[in-house]
Amino acid sequence: MIMKKLKQKLHETASNKDEIKQLIQSFSDAGDSKSFAFGIVVGRIYNAFYYQSKRILDREPTTAEFEEFLEFIQNKKSDLRNLW
Look at residues 28, 73, 84 and name the one whose alpha carbon lies nearest to residue 49: 73
pLDDT in tens, 73-84: 999 888 888 776
pTM of the full structure: 0.79
pLDDT in tens, 6-43: 999 888 888 888 888 888 888 767 566 778 888 888 99
Q: What is the pLDDT of residue 16?
A: 84
Task: Determine the 3-state secondary structure of 30 from DSSP.
Answer: helix
* Residue 33, domain extent: 2-81
Give the orientation angle of helix 2-15 with respect to helix 63-81, to 10 degrees: 20
Q: What is the pLDDT of residue 30?
A: 59
Beta carbons of 36 and 29 less than 8 angstroms apart: no
How many domains does the chain fold into? 1
Beta carbons of 5 and 74 less than 8 angstroms apart: no
d(C-alpha 15, C-alpha 66), whole Å: 25
User: Residue 58 has what DSSP assignment?
Assistant: S
pLDDT in tens, 40-66: 889 999 999 999 999 999 999 999 999
